[in-house]
């Protein structure tokens, strides 16, 4: 009996003229695979021909997974090139197909951000032109554009990037996305999430839902239920100056328009519009009577709930209001210094 597998997927590939894989579409990826099905798919990886797919269909059917069996049968009758990725453990991806499976698993809600190892993913994914005819190798783009023009057509190039937009691969149930190009494959969108036109969600980031996103959720950032990100606001990720600190937003929080966040927030926190809080921001902490208790770096307030960050309209200093007494605040602050 094989051990539990981290993930498995059968995918349709696009490739360049030299046979290198540009992208993989996994229609029904699997997360943790256990029991008889784990034995059925163990070791199934790489490019599969018609015979391989028929064998997989029979094994999947014997293991009781009719959906995988039906997909295998359907792919075996197609001229499309098919690849399998079998993730025996949660380790860094080693191929384009592994990387795409992990990104699909995130957007299919099979794992949450930070729930799968994406180390080295940038080095694996090719930078390609994403067009209305699918991904095209950049070295082949000019010829394809000329060929289209000679036929009286225009090849539409939507972007040139390593990551495609999520909606060309999966649309999670119960979400609204006003501008699909602003949500990358590998984003995690919980049910009830609305992403407005200026909202952006990177890979390995997302929302638990429900919530409203009108700002930017950077790579690595997870936003809790009921939280809203106002227009133009920003969250610092591990790729945008956040360092090793994992930035997150708790439940029922509000980040105001054009505000920013560089520390983890607890639940029911608010950052006023236009205020950017980084780990080193000096913050005057006010108790429930609005009396100053201490001035500290924002990093020491990380993860705490029921905080309101604002600027003092007279001095311009950053203040944090809480619902705790001075004694409670002192104990809390110095317990973490």
pLDDT in tens, 241-263: 445 678 999 999 999 999 999 99
Among 83, 119, 105, which Cα is nearest to 186's?
105
Burial 270-304 (b: 16+ CB within 10 A, else e): bbbbebbbebebebbbbbeeeeebbebebbbbbeb
Other beta carbons less than 10 A from residue 34's beta carbon: 12
Residues 6+ apart with CB under 8 A from 4: 32, 33, 34, 38
What's the pLDDT at 319? 95
Domains of the chain, first to last: 7-124 (3.30.70.2010), 129-161 (3.30.60.70), 166-335 (2.160.10.10)
What's the pLDDT at 326? 55
Residues 6+ apart with CB under 8 A from 201: 182, 183, 184, 187, 189, 195, 207, 213, 217
Average pLDDT score over residue span 160-187: 97
Q: Chain-wide mean pLDDT for the chain?
A: 92
pTM for the predicted model, two decimal places: 0.91
| Segments of 6-60 assigned E as strands | 7-15, 21-25, 46-48
Most confident of 145-159, 244-258, 307-321, 323-337: 145-159
Q: Could you identify the residue written with the tokens 């996103």?
A: 213
pLDDT in tens, 36-86: 999 999 889 999 999 999 999 999 999 999 999 999 999 999 999 999 999
pLDDT for residue 145 is more than 50: yes
Which residues are marked as active site? 214
Of all residues in the chain, the percent with pLDDT exceeding 90 is 85
Residues 6+ apart with CB under 8 A from 18: none
CA–CA distances in Å: residue 12 to residues 7, 48, 94, 265, 327: 17, 10, 18, 40, 61
Q: Could you identify the residue written with the tokens 């784990």?
A: 38
Q: What is the three-class DSSP state of 152?
A: coil
pLDDT for residue 266 is more than 60: yes
pLDDT in tens, 213-238: 999 999 999 999 999 999 999 999 86
| Structure-token pair, residue 309 | 């960050």
Q: What is the three-class DSSP state of 99?
A: helix
Among 206, 186, 220, which Cα is nearest to 103's?
186
Among 173, 40, 162, which Cα is nearest to 103's?
162
What's the pLDDT at 293? 87
Most confident of 26-30, 312-316, 322-326: 26-30
Backbone angles phi and psi of 81, in degrees to 5: -80, 135
């Amino acid at each position: 009996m094989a051990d539990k597998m981290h993930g498995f997927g059968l995918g349709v590939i696009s490739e360049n003229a030299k046979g290198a894989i540009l992208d993989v579409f996994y229609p029904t990826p699997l997360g943790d695979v256990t029991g008889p099905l784990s034995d059925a798919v163990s070791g199934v990886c790489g490019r599969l021909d018609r015979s391989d797919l028929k064998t997989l269909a029979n094994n999947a059917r014997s293991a009781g997974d009719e959906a995988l069996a039906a997909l295998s049968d359907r792919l075996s009758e197609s001229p499309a090139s098919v690849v399998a990725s079998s993730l025996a453990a949660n380790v860094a991806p080693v191929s384009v197909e592994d990387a795409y499976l992990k990104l699909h698993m995130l957007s299919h809600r099979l794992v949450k951000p930070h729930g799968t190892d994406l180390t080295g993913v940038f080095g694996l994914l090719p930078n390609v032109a994403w067009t209305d005819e699918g991904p095209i190798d950049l070295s082949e783009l000019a010829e394809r554009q000329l060929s289209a023009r000679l036929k009286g057509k225009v090849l539409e190039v939507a972007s040139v990037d390593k990551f495609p937009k999520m909606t060309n691969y999966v649309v999670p149930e119960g979400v609204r996305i006003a501008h699909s190009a602003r949500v990358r494959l590998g984003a995690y969108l919980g049910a009830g999430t609305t992403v407005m036109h200026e909202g952006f969600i990177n890979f390995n980031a997302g929302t638990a839902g429900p919530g409203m996103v009108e700002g930017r959720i950077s790579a690595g950032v997870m936003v809790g239920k009921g939280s809203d990100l106002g227009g133009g606001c920003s969250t610092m990720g591990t790729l945008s100056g956040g360092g090793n600190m994992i930035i997150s937003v708790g439940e029922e929080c509000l980040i105001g328009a054009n505000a920013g966040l560089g520390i983890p927030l607890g639940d029911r926190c608010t950052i006023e519009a236009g205020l950017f809080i980084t780990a080193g921001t000096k913050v005057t902490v006010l108790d429930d009577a609005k009396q100053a208790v201490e001035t500290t770096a924002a990093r020491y307030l990380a993860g705490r709930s029921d905080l309101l960050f604002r600027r003092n309209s007279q001095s311009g200093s950053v203040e944090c209001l809480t619902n705790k007494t001075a004694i409670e605040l002192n104990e809390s602050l110095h317990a973490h210094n």
